[in-house]
A and B are shown apart, each in its own frame.
Chain A
Amino acid sequence: MQRFNIIDAATGLALVVIGIALQAHITASYDLGSLRRMGPGMVPMGLSLLLSGLGAALALSALLRAPAPLPQVQVRPFVFVLAAIAAFSLTIRLFGLVPAVVLLVGLSTLADRDARFGTFLALSAVLATLAFLIFRLGLGMNLPPFRWPF
């Protein structure tokens, strides 16, 4: 049986490691300067030391805390929502607004367990039209509805 908050302890240790990695990167790449004339590395160095310190404090205080239940990860929404955004980012320039929105709607409706194909069809038609009307016609943004890169 764990007696302490293992999640916070691990997070704290991870922060210490991230802080140390940052310090290594800063020492290697940026000039620290002096107190009188600070270089670009001084403030980031101070902050990353602070981050390591606070991470260590969190890890130590976690030893005194009661264990918390493991958080429930919503894997399905997590994967599909992020995939939908990535798909939009990758297609908007190559194929234009309408394909990007349809892909976004398609992937994001899959995030819900009870998604139906009819919902996807209706929603992508409505949203693509809406996006075209608001952003292209209404606000005159540079968002052509279709593009063909080849």
Chain B
Amino acid sequence: MDILANLGLGLSVALSGTNLLYCFVGVVLGTFLGVIPGVGVLAAISMLFPLTYFLEPTTALIMLAGIWYGTSYGGSTASILLNVPGTPANAVTCLDGYPMAQKGRAAMALFMTTVASFVGGSIGIVLLSAFAPLIAGAALAFGSAEYFALMVLGLIAATGIVGDDPLKGLIMVVVGLLLGLVGTDVFSGTARFTLGYLELRDGIALVALAMGLFGVSEVIASVGRIRPGRFDASTIRIRAMVPTRDEMRRSWMPMLRGSGVGAFFGALPGTGPSLAAFIAYAVEKRAAREPERFGKGAIEGVMAPESANNSADQTSFIPTLALGIPGSPTMALMLGVLIIHGIAPGPGLMTNEPALFWGLIMSFWIGNILLVLLNVPLIGLWVRLLTIPYPLLFPAVLMFICIGTYSVNNSAFDVMVVMVFGALGYLFRLLSFPPAPLLLGFVLGPLLEEHFRRAMLLSRGDPMTFVERPISSVLLGIAALILIWTLFNAIRRTRPQQTL
């Protein structure tokens, strides 16, 4: 079969010395940044993004992807030991993980979350390698109208399902789309919204925007708030990791169900691992025979979300690699790597760049195995990281952000852009506007405009083309349904408050 040849090719790419090294670097950095609260995945990836200019695109993606799923492994550590999620995707793990730590079962919980992460990740990888080629095959027939419809669906899904305030999410998408239009118009060559700055002719730098919005605003919000954790590090020993027979028995089904839930929500554009973990926890609580154990240290409540977020980490590559449409801001950065190296993302990627595609997928296996090796014997080391005081950490984070941005184009202007978006990002935080939809809109903005204008040119100015073409009309129909559903829910939620 084809697939075996592809997997073989992928394995040979992933096992080459350089790729193996950077896969290792990625997962180590990912675990490191995941363990420390206050440095999210996006901040981590945008901080290291400039390094990828110096690497082959395959190697660069392998490293960034390693950071991406590595943080999900590391993130549960702080959730369990300190009741502070290392990353948003590990927030639910606190609910039962921290009570487990209080009962003295922290080591076992840390071990079992590593197992759950590995199982979830593996199931996600299998589904990714099975479905991505199928979807890419179907998408080869897509024209501009279909691409436009698909991106609209992704943007609506991003605002609707994730945030608790869909209206604010939509506003952020529109702001992002507008920011994405800054620069030279590809059709006419007109410079738009450049405020007279020559530096803005190529558009706002993605890295500068992402670092300001996520990295800097996170630092501002965390300074003076995050204090080093207090816990008994001596309880984290390998001998204390062994689960009892009963704990093992309880873990299997939640782990499998969690992986399934995670895989599904990871593959949908606009959702992602945080939501997947929440839903997996909710499903488990509903399926449980004794739901009252949840929140008091039930192992099911740790296994399900931890397998779900890792499974979602992997399947979120499906829309990204098969369609060239990023389902999350992190995936937008991954696509940015491809674009910078001159590789067009889209359904043709798999056939044009099989070594990149399959190499990346096989590196996920290797990365997941490395993560188990890193997390089980070395857990004591990671745990010590939690005792580093934040005042020592954040100047280093800021330094990496500044040097990283500067070195992309040797541009001091871009560093100022980081500052501007840092301030904006903090403002959005205060007003509780979610920043992730903005980044998604920013990345998709130019693509969306291009496909919209091309489709309209082809239809001679008739907007009905989006409804008349079957695939496009189905996609837009789903988008409309999601929009109506989320707005309806939002209105229903506001009503009761009004009567108070």
Contact = CB atoms under 8 A, between A and B. Distances in A.
Interface of A: 7-8, 11, 15, 22, 25, 30-31, 34-40, 42-44, 47-48, 50-51, 54-55, 57-58, 61, 64-66, 68, 71, 73-74, 76-78, 81-82, 84-86, 88-90, 92-93, 97, 100-101, 104-105, 108-109, 111-115, 119, 123, 127, 130-131, 135, 139, 141-143
Nearest to B184: A40
B415 A81 contact: no
A54 B167 contact: yes
Contacts of A86: 416, 419
B202 to A, nearest CB: 16
Nearest to A72: B430
Given A36-B460, A74-B223, A139-B51, A82 B419 contact: yes
Contacts of B394: 108, 111-112
Interface of B: 51, 54, 167-168, 170-171, 174-175, 177-178, 181, 185, 187-188, 190, 192-193, 216, 219-221, 223-224, 391-392, 394-396, 398-399, 401-403, 406-407, 410, 412-413, 415-416, 418-419, 422-423, 426, 430-432, 449, 452-453, 456-457, 460-463, 494-495, 497-498, 500
A101 B399 contact: yes
Contacts of B410: 142
Interface of A is mostly: helix
Given A104-B398, A112-B224, A135-B407, A61 B412 contact: no
Contacts of B51: 139
**What 7 A-B pairs come out closest when comparing CB atoms?**
A36-B461, A89-B415, A35-B461, A77-B223, A40-B185, A71-B430, A66-B497
Contacts of A58: 167-168, 171
A39 B415 CA distance: 32
29 contacts: A35-B456, A36-B461, A38-B453, A39-B188, A44-B178, A48-B178, A50-B174, A51-B171, A64-B495, A65-B498, A68-B432, A78-B426, A81-B219, A81-B220, A82-B422, A84-B395, A85-B415, A85-B418, A88-B406, A88-B415, A89-B402, A89-B413, A89-B415, A101-B399, A114-B391, A123-B396, A135-B407, A139-B407, A143-B407
A35 B463 contact: yes
B393 to A, nearest CB: 10
A61 B402 contact: no
Given A44-B192, A104-B398, A104-B402, A92 B415 contact: yes
Contacts of A130: 396
B412 A123 contact: no
Q: Name the residue in B174, B188, B193, B395 with the highest tally of chain A Cβ atoms < 10 Å from its Cβ.
A: B395
Contacts of B219: 77, 81
A47 B180 CA distance: 11
Contacts of B461: 34-37
A31 B168 contact: no
Contacts of B426: 78
Given A11-B431, A51-B174, A82-B419, A108 B460 contact: no
B498 A74 contact: no
Contacts of A7: 431
Contacts of B406: 88-89, 92, 143
B494 A54 contact: no
Contacts of A47: 174, 177-178, 181
A105 B399 contact: yes
Contacts of B419: 82, 85-86, 89
Contact of A81 (B177, B193, B223): B223
Contacts of A92: 402, 406, 412, 415
A34 B457 CA distance: 10
Contacts, number: 177
B478 to A, nearest CB: 20
Nearest to A108: B395
Given A31-B190, A141-B407, 13 more contacts: A11-B431, A22-B178, A38-B457, A43-B181, A43-B453, A64-B498, A76-B223, A81-B223, A108-B394, A111-B394, A119-B392, A127-B399, A135-B407
A143 B413 CA distance: 16
Q: Name the residue in A66, A100, A108, A123 with the highest tally of chain B Cβ atoms < 10 Å from its Cβ.
A: A108
Contacts of B178: 22, 44, 47-48, 51
A61 to B, nearest CB: 6
A65 B193 CA distance: 35
Given A30-B190, A36-B461, A82-B419, A131 B456 contact: no
B111 to A, nearest CB: 33
Q: Name the residue in B175, B190, B406, B413 with the highest tally of chain A Cβ atoms < 10 Å from its Cβ.
A: B406
A118 to B, nearest CB: 12
Q: Name the residue in A40, A109, A112 with the highest tally of chain B Cβ atoms < 10 Å from its Cβ.
A: A40
A139 B54 contact: yes
Nearest to A65: B494
A111 B221 CA distance: 11
Nearest to A113: B224
Given A30-B192, A82-B423, A114-B391, A77 B170 contact: no
Contacts of B432: 68, 71
B204 to A, nearest CB: 14
A66 B190 CA distance: 45
A77 B224 contact: yes
B398 A38 contact: no
Contacts of A50: 174
Contacts of A139: 51, 54, 407
A57 B167 contact: yes
A65 B391 CA distance: 38
Contacts of B175: 51
A40 B402 contact: no
Contacts of B392: 119, 123
A73 B427 CA distance: 9
Contacts of B402: 85, 88-89, 92, 100, 104
